[in-house]
Each structure stands twice: as C-alpha cells, then as structure tokens.
Amino acid sequence: MVTKAFELIEIVRNALEPKYEFPYYALVRVHSKDGTFHIPAPMFNGMSKRSKWAGSLPIAQDKRDGEYFECPFCGERSFFSGVCEDCRRDYEVWEEDENGEFGNDGHWVDGPLPIEYRNRESMEKAAKEELLRRIDTGVDLGIISAEIVLPVAWGTELEHSPFLKCADYSAQWALDRIEKEIRCHEELKKHEEYQEMIRNYTPEDGVPLDYIEGDVITVEGSEELRRHVNGVWQHKHEGYDYWHLMTRVHKESMIYPLCEPDMNEV
C-alpha cells in the first residue's frame, strides 16, 4: 500500500514539474537545404530533448495569420496549410450509391490529388520525422535555421504565455510533507508499542488506518480476498469467486450452488 502511495505522489510530482507548453496553433518553422517546412509546436510540449530544443528557438518576426499559408494550386491565402476547398472540389469524384443511403444515385467524394503533390507531401512528412528523430537521438540536425511562429487569432493579436511553465512550488512542498509523513509512519510501524496500539484500535468504519480505498487484501491462511469500496467491505472466496458484500447471506441454488447470482441477489 505504501509503495502505491509513493507511486501516486510521484505521478503528481511529475505533473507539477517545469515543462514547455506552446500555443496550440504555433508552428516550428524549419529551414533546411531541402526547403522550408512546418511542424505543429505542441508536438514539442514537455521536457524531452525536442522540448528543450524548441524552447531555445527564437520567435519569428512574422505571425501565423489568415494569410500565412497558400494553396499549392491556386495560391489562395489561408490560416491552414494544404489544398483550399475550391481546389479540392476540382478533384472530387462521383461515387455510386449502391445501398440507397443518400436517397439518390450517389454522391461526390474526395478523389486522389495529383501524384506530384502527394509525392511532395510524402517527402515533407519524411523530412519532419527525420528531424524529430535526430533531435531525440542527439544527432546533427543538418538544418540552416529554425524559429517559432506564433499564431494570430484571425487578425487579432494574442497574448501568449511564456513557453516554459514554472513548477508549482507550493504543491511540491505539500507533496514533500505528505511523503515525509508516510515515511515517518513506516518507521513507527516497526516498533512493538505502535503495533500493539494499532491492534487494539479499531476505527469506527472498520477500515485499517493504512488502507487505501480499492486495494485488495489477502486474508492470511486462506484464499479469501477483501476490499473496501464506497464505504462497504466486499470479499470473494472459494465457491463464490465474485465480489459481494461481506454481510450478504450466500444464496445457493439446489441445482447450481456455485453459479453467479443475479443483480437482485447482490
């Protein structure tokens, strides 16, 4: 039980550690010998090698606004990358409706884009994955430069928070105090006087002082298992291998004495 308590404390402690957090629509713009590509900045959130690398990048002078990207076919400006809606319609294909789900003979669906565009997208994706791999493994990145491009909410300036979020030191202090109390309690449990006091003391709800809700207890000298859930004790044992109330009278069928009870019996 104590080990589980320490594990829970460690989970909370890790969540409270300093970490990098980038705005949702921010971009990491990378200039390499193969061209320029963008990676969503939130992919660098955390405190990994890639997080620290992105956190050290300068902020670009320009912003990601409603005219940052352009359609590769018609050149229309947009907040998002890729093919614009009008050009995408040029590559729609008619799909026959065999099951009559659409109330007519068929409907328009997205068709394949030109092979040149798809090849370029595949090469750019491979370049991004290779960059992330190199950052994670500490290999030479082979790039010319990189910067953070902050977003603008459709023409309105956003006040962005610092990328590095500070730790919550008051919460960290509270966890340190809790951990200290648990360790002191463990030391006390080694003394005979303490053990005798615990044996002679029964809380009003009958739950041991060091019990964590939901943990399974094995009854010494038997195969019985017990747990305390929502204020009541449950157990299961030989012949009744399902969780049921300890106060419940076992109802056995004359034909199937070991069958699973229905919901009305539990």
Q: pLDDT for 123-156, tens place per residue? A: 888 888 888 888 888 887 788 899 999 987 544 4
Q: Which of 62-66, 69-73, 141-145 shows the lowest per-residue confidence on average (mean pLDDT)?
A: 141-145
Structural domain boundaries of the chain? 1-17+167-204, 23-165, 215-260
Give the span between the Cα atoms of 146 and 206, in whole angstroms. 62
64 CB contacts (<8 Å, ≥6 apart)? 25, 26, 27, 79, 149, 150, 151, 152
Residue 212 above 70 pLDDT?
no
Per DSSP, 65 falls in state: -
Residue 197 above 90 pLDDT?
no
Give the span between the Cα atoms of 65 and 78, in whole angstroms. 8
Is 168 or 114 the better-scoring residue by pLDDT? 114
Across the chain, where does the E strand assignment appear? 19-20, 27-32, 35-40, 69-70, 77-78, 92-96, 106-110, 143-149, 164-165, 217-218, 225-229, 232-237, 240-245
Can you give the pLDDT at residue 72? Answer: 92
Region 224-252: mean pLDDT is 79
Across 97-156, where does the E strand assignment appear? 106-110, 143-149
- For residue 13, the SS3 value is helix
Give the span between the Cα atoms of 90 and 71, in whole angstroms. 13
Q: Model pTM?
A: 0.53
Region 24-53: mean pLDDT is 88
CA-CA distances (angstroms) from residue 92 to 69, 109, 111, 138?
22, 5, 5, 44
Residue 119 above 90 pLDDT?
yes
What is the separation, in whole angstroms, between the first and last Cα of the chain? 28
Residue 22 above 50 pLDDT?
yes
Give kind and range of the element (H or E) at residue 195.
helix 192-200
CA-CA distances (angstroms) from residue 195 to 162, 186, 200, 213?
51, 11, 9, 21
Q: Average model confidence (pLDDT) for the chain? A: 77
Helix, strand, coil percentages (3-state) for the chain, rounded to 5, are 30, 25, 45
Can you give the pLDDT at residue 254? Answer: 39
Query: What percent of the chain is predicted at pLDDT more than 70?
Result: 73
Give the span between the Cα atoms of 69 and 80, in whole angstroms. 6
